A and B are shown apart, each in its own frame.
Chain A
Amino acid sequence: MTTRRRRVVGWLAGAVSLLLAAGTVSAHGGSLAGGGRESITVPTWLFLSTGGAAVGASFLLASFVTDRSFIHRIHNWGAPLTVSDSRLPGVLARGVGLAGYVTVLVIGFFGPPTPRTNLAILLVWVGWWAGLAMTTYLIGNTWRTLNPLDTIALVLPSLDRTYPDRAGAWPSVVSLLALIWLEVVSPLADDPQLLATAIVGYSVLTLSGAVVFGRETWFAEADPVERVFRYYGRVAPIGYDERGLRLRLPGMDLSTPRLVDGRDEVAFIVALLWGTTFDGLVTTPTWRDLMAPLVGAGVPPHVLYPLALVVGFGLFLGAYWLAVRLSCRLTDTYLGADTVAKRFAPPLLAIAAGYHFAHYLGYFLVVAPALWVALLSPLSDPGAVPIYEPPGWFAGVGIAAVVVGHLVAIWVAHAAAYDTFPSRIQAIRSQYPFIAVMVFYTMTSLWVISRPEVSLPYL
């Protein structure tokens, strides 16, 4: 009884200090949402250390929970959901996906050229990449059924060549980085025709992959978009596990060992996390100042963007693997480094989802009325479109999402550690390097957020 009471008191004390820390950040952090960043009234180093300290403090709090059955109960909590036998919802969803796809292509090529009123732009960036992705980690993954390319691939023949095992998820890692690069350097969000052309190119590539290697294999292994949605879907409260469709606490599925089964998939998770950071990094003044002397020395700027993307990804991935090695050494375990790496990568998805939410919720709410107007009159240009103005406290929502993402990640990693190591002290110790890495990721992202936003240099 006394240990339990002590534990509760510990939790409360920690929660309060964490809330205070989070409150301080949100008061000064400026706006994450809508791409607009405000200046910060506390010095940057203090803002960053507060964020880092919040992550460290939440780890210490989680480490107070040493009762295995309690952790087990939380992670197993849930209710089975019945799956309807009817094929109608699936067929309807495929129809909706296909209709959306055709709309984007038609309006992209023949609709109004202004980005704020063009339905293709709004449907892709607001409806799909902001809206649908948010529902994926907040509710459940529907992209598996909505995916129009999957539906088209259903009717295409398949050559059923064997997909090389060694390739694994690597094609999806490379193409995810390529998509991030394309999204950053090209005006895909401003030029409807370019967007439609890019989608046609991506479709041709994806469909040929599906024809050569089989639809199921291609979308399970090589398609980056399908994989992004599948991974985000694992953060969601509704999803399939070995017992069928279930409702469970958000993020708790990330502690199971079945999620990631190789270095390739670890790399994909890190690429997803790095992508959200890179997006913001290239619009900081520091990036501009860093580029200026290099461009002056004759390095073409078009080489610098992909170079920075790859170097940064290598840095993030290297930091993760360094943490894995240190964790193995600290815990004195005989588990291979690969096993440890696979176990502790999925929690990072909760962080990625938190950052996505912070970035896109504001953008979604601001532009959603425009999407509605464009849906009603897709071909004519309505001229002025309504814009929603979020209230002043809204900036705090973004910071809160970042903090919640980290809290979930730390808790899930804690549970995974208890599942992996027989000794409780060993489990706690295994987390030290990963917490250091999380602090590094957090401070990097907070630093990016705290910089004023400038337009992309040299593009």
Chain B
Amino acid sequence: MTDDYDVPEDETAYECGYCGRPFAREEWLALHRGLDHPAQLDDEQVAAFRAAHDAEESTLGNFRLRALGALVIIYFCLLMIYALV
């Protein structure tokens, strides 16, 4: 990897044991290990990946609802404006 990292000195970083990439949160590290080094993981790390992945689903569900709401608002606002102008 040729990526450069920029870790603030007063922050804790969770470093990937396989490639050294640092993360701000432990779940992100778990997700990263599952996505980028799937063949090398032990059972515990696989379980951590699954847990992090599932935990994200509910946040994503929330996001989708809000995105759909935003789409509807954009659409109807434009519709109304075009009807009036």
Classify the secondary structure of B's interface with A.
helix
| Binary flags per residue of A361-402, CB closer than 8 Å to B gives 1, else 0 | 000000000000000000000000000000000000000000
Whether A428 pairs with B63 at a CB distance below 8 angstroms is yes
Answer yes or no: B18 CB below 8 A from chain A CBs: no
Answer yes or no: B39 CB below 8 A from chain A CBs: no
Q: B interface, how many residues as a size bin? A: 20 to 34
Give the residues in chain A near B5, CB-CB below 8 Å: 334-336
Instruction: State in angstroms the CA–CA spacing of A336 and B21 once bound together.
Output: 11
Instruction: State in angstroms the CA–CA spacing of A421 and B6 once bound together.
Output: 15
Which residues of chain B from 11 to 26 have a CB within 8 Å of any chain A CB?
A: 13, 21-25
Q: How far is the CB of B36 from chain A (nearest CB, A)?
A: 8
Whether A425 pairs with B7 at a CB distance below 8 angstroms is no
| Binary flags per residue of B25-66, CB closer than 8 Å to A gives 1, else 0 | 101110110011000000000000000000010011001100
Answer yes or no: A43 CB below 8 A from chain B CBs: yes
Choose one: A14, A334, A423, A428; the contact of B6 (CB below 8 Å).
Answer: A334
Answer yes or no: A201 CB below 8 A from chain B CBs: no
Whether B63 pairs with A63 at a CB distance below 8 angstroms is yes
Instruction: State in angstroms the CA–CA spacing of A386 and B3 once bound together.
Output: 55
Answer yes or no: A404 CB below 8 A from chain B CBs: no
Give the residues in chain A near B64, CB-CB below 8 Å: 6, 10, 63-64
| Binary flags per residue of A45-59, CB closer than 8 Å to B gives 1, else 0 | 010011001001100
Whether A57 pairs with B6 at a CB distance below 8 angstroms is no
Give the residues in chain A near B71, CB-CB below 8 Å: 13-14, 17, 57, 60-61
Answer yes or no: A24 CB below 8 A from chain B CBs: yes
Choose one: B2, B23, B31, B81; the contact of A334 (CB below 8 Å).
Answer: B23
Whether A64 pairs with B23 at a CB distance below 8 angstroms is no
Give the residues in chain B near A68, CB-CB below 8 Å: 35
Q: Would A334 and B13 be within 8 Å (CB), given that A42-B85, A64-B67, A422-B23 are in contact? A: yes
Give the residues in chain A near B25, CB-CB below 8 Å: 332
CB-based nearest A residue for B53: A424
Give the residues in chain A near B85, CB-CB below 8 Å: 42-43, 46
Instruction: State in angstroms the CA–CA spacing of A42 and B84 once bound together.
Output: 11
Whether A335 pairs with B3 at a CB distance below 8 angstroms is yes
Q: Would A333 and B78 be within 8 Å (CB), given that A68-B35, A424-B60, A425-B63 are in contact? A: no
Instruction: State in angstroms the CA–CA spacing of A420 and B29 once bound together.
Output: 13
How many positions in chain A have a CB within 8 Å of any CB in the partner chain?
39
Choose one: B3, B13, B60, B81; the contact of A336 (CB below 8 Å).
Answer: B3
Instruction: State in angstroms the CA–CA spacing of A14 and B72 once bound together.
Output: 9
Give the residues in chain A near B10, CB-CB below 8 Å: none
Give the residues in chain A near B74, CB-CB below 8 Å: 17, 53, 56-57
| Binary flags per residue of A215-241, CB closer than 8 Å to B gives 1, else 0 | 000000000000000000000000000
Whether A334 pairs with B7 at a CB distance below 8 angstroms is yes
Whether B7 pairs with A423 at a CB distance below 8 angstroms is no
Give the residues in chain A near B27, CB-CB below 8 Å: 423
Whether A332 pairs with B70 at a CB distance below 8 angstroms is no
CB-based nearest B residue for A336: B4
Instruction: State in angstroms the CA–CA spacing of A426 and B27 once bound together.
Output: 12
Answer yes or no: A190 CB below 8 A from chain B CBs: no
Instruction: State in angstroms the CA–CA spacing of A425 and B36 once bound together.
Output: 17
Instruction: State in angstroms the CA–CA spacing of A328 and B21 once bound together.
Output: 15
Q: How far is the CB of B28 from chain A (nearest CB, A)?
A: 5
Choose one: B28, B60, B67; the contact of A422 (CB below 8 Å).
Answer: B28
Instruction: State in angstroms the CA–CA spacing of A21 and B60 once bound together.
Output: 27
Give the residues in chain A near B21, CB-CB below 8 Å: 334
Give the residues in chain A near B68, CB-CB below 8 Å: 10, 60
Answer yes or no: A337 CB below 8 A from chain B CBs: yes
Instruction: State in angstroms the CA–CA spacing of A64 and B71 once bound together.
Output: 11
Q: Would A422 and B82 be within 8 Å (CB), given that A17-B75, A56-B74, A334-B22 are in contact? A: no
Answer yes or no: A338 CB below 8 A from chain B CBs: yes
Whether A423 pairs with B28 at a CB distance below 8 angstroms is yes
Q: Would A24 and B35 be within 8 Å (CB), given that A57-B71, A424-B56, A426-B28 are in contact? A: no
Q: How far is the CB of A14 from chain B (nearest CB, A)?
A: 6
Q: Would A334 and B24 be within 8 Å (CB), given that A17-B75, A43-B85, A425-B60 are in contact? A: yes
Known interface pairs A14-B71, A63-B63, A424-B60; 9 further A-B residue pairs with C-beta atoms within 8 A, sorted by A's residue number: A20-B75, A57-B74, A60-B71, A63-B67, A332-B25, A336-B3, A336-B5, A422-B23, A425-B63
Can you give 19 A-B contacts (C-beta < 8 A)? Answer: A6-B64, A17-B71, A21-B78, A24-B78, A42-B85, A46-B85, A49-B78, A49-B81, A60-B68, A61-B71, A68-B35, A328-B6, A334-B5, A334-B24, A339-B3, A422-B32, A423-B27, A426-B28, A428-B63
A interface residues, Cβ below 8 angstroms from B: 6, 10, 13-14, 17, 20-21, 24, 42-43, 46, 49-50, 53, 56-57, 60-61, 63-64, 66, 68, 261, 328, 332-339, 421-426, 428
